[in-house]
Amino acid sequence: MKSLRFILFLCVLLLSMAIITPAYAQKEIKIGVLYPLSGAMATIGRDLQRAAEFTVDIINNKTPGIDLPMAQWGGIPSLGNAKIKLIFVDHRGEPDRGADLAKRLILDDKVVGLMGAYNSAVTKTVSAVAERYGIPMINDASTSPDLTERGFKWFWRTTPHDNYFNRDLFEFLKGLTEGKVKGVKAVPRSQLQNLAYACENTEWGSGVAKSLEAYAKEYGFTIKKGILYNANSPDLTSEAKALVSVKPDAMLFASYLSDALLMIRTLKAMKANTNLLWGQDAGFEMADFAKQLGADINGVLTRTVFIDKITKVKKVAGQLNALYKKKYGDDLTGATARSVVSVQTWAYVLNKAGSTDPKAIQKACNEIHIPENELVMPWAGVKFDSKGQNILGRGLIGQYQKKPDGSISLEIVYPFELATANFIYPFPGWK
């Protein structure tokens, strides 16, 4: 009888432990990450992957020399120091494939949430799958404004979107005419009035074009030519000729890496002339853009969210960048730094939730506030609005500048108060 009572007592005790502390029994937290790891965007996909792996390593293993709470955790504290495991899949830049992979990650791999997918068109389909299954998705680098205008309850985006960045461009143009840009006297409006753009025609590029049209009208500039071209085009000669034909004061682009490289080479071959040449992030900010083109991008502008010069004024940015460069040989970029922030946000959310239950994670996402001193980015923090958009992010505009030793440096030119070098104006072009 006593033995029966003891067995019953033991069963009740074990059951109560299972009910009270399920989180602590969990050793691993699986998050599905969708990036373009092959095809035309494989370079950026691999960069994003290694940045995500870099950040998870900091979280899972106590990392000295990094002044961040997560670097001292050794896993997720509220979940018994359970480790994050990232499961990477390759969507190849294909929206339908991305949706299929997301479904597989949810149903077969049993991930607690998703991250990615870089391409806005793929993020659009992947997030729809996450919404259907009630699985949280934290997006790091997709900037189509429409992604947070769909009323989704399971989607959050840490990066600012293109409306933020395009407004920055027009504030910069306005500042040029007002003498606010470092090293340049006020530029007559007539030298900047006429604009032309060429944007790739997927979800992202089409959204950029729409936003550029709206802001040009709001700020009183004229779009002389607007082109949507097929992404990953083998030849952009006709598009470049069309831009040059209207003699624009500024040329604006939204292109992934292969297109950005091809467009600059095509314009150089034509000895194209313009006062200002600006790229909307993506291909224009990747390390390979400068590596492959070298001095040919002297004077080119790119919008971004991270430039390594930030490391001189923000301690934690310097620490993370130094560790990343030691490991991989490259500085963090706007794209890779956003991957760092997204993984970090996942970690903070999981710790706040203290659970892997989707509704607990959803609640934590809606309430999370990561302060600016704990971010690699020059942002005011991470805090989501009711649409899932981080309202504390901001963009930078950088200019590639050739230094006396022949190296190329990306210098901050906007916001004006953060400028790290005199602005090169007009765009020197190609001789």
What's the pLDDT at 3?
Answer: 55
The interaxial angle of helices 42-60 and 315-328, nearest 10 deg, is 120
- The architecture CATH gives domain 14-160+313-382: 3-Layer(aba) Sandwich (3.40)
Whole-model pTM?
Answer: 0.80
Question: Nearest 10 degrees: CA dihedral of 305, 350, 58, 343?
Answer: -30
Q: CA 193, CA 170: separation in Å to the nearest integer?
A: 11
Indicate if the pLDDT at residue 104 is higher than 80. yes
Q: Which sign, positive or negative, has the C-alpha torsion 69, 74, 75, 78?
A: negative
Predicted confidence band at 19 (pLDDT cuts at 50, 70, 90)? very low
Predicted confidence band at 203 (pLDDT cuts at 50, 70, 90)? confident
Tokens of 333: 């970029």
Task: Work out the percent of the chain whose per-residue pLDDT is above 70.
Answer: 94
Per CATH, the number for 163-304+395-418 is 3.40.50.2300
Per-residue pLDDT tens digits for 224-243: 999 999 988 899 999 999 99
Tokens 């080479």 belong to residue: 265
Q: What angle do CA 292, 159, 145 make, to 5 degrees?
A: 100
DSSP 390: B
- Residue ranges of the chain that CATH labels 3.40.50.2300: 14-160+313-382, 163-304+395-418
Average pLDDT, the chain: 91
DSSP 66: -
Collapse the DSSP code of 333 into the 3-class scheme (helix H, G, I; strand E, B; otherwise coil) and give the result.
coil
Residue 429's alpha-carbon distances to 195, 241, 264, 409, 422, in angstroms, are: 17, 16, 10, 17, 17
What's the pLDDT at 20?
Answer: 41
Asked if residue 360 lies in contact with residue 73, where contact means CB atoms within 8 angstroms, the answer is no
Tokens of 68: 């961040």
Average pLDDT in the 98-111 region?
Answer: 98
Instruction: Return the beta strands (E) in 159-289 as ranges.
Output: 194-200, 222-229, 250-254, 276-279
Q: Which helix (H) or strand (E) holds 138?
A: strand 137-139
What's the pLDDT at 5?
Answer: 56
Collapse the DSSP code of 364 into the 3-class scheme (helix H, G, I; strand E, B; otherwise coil) and give the result.
helix
What's the pLDDT at 226?
Answer: 96
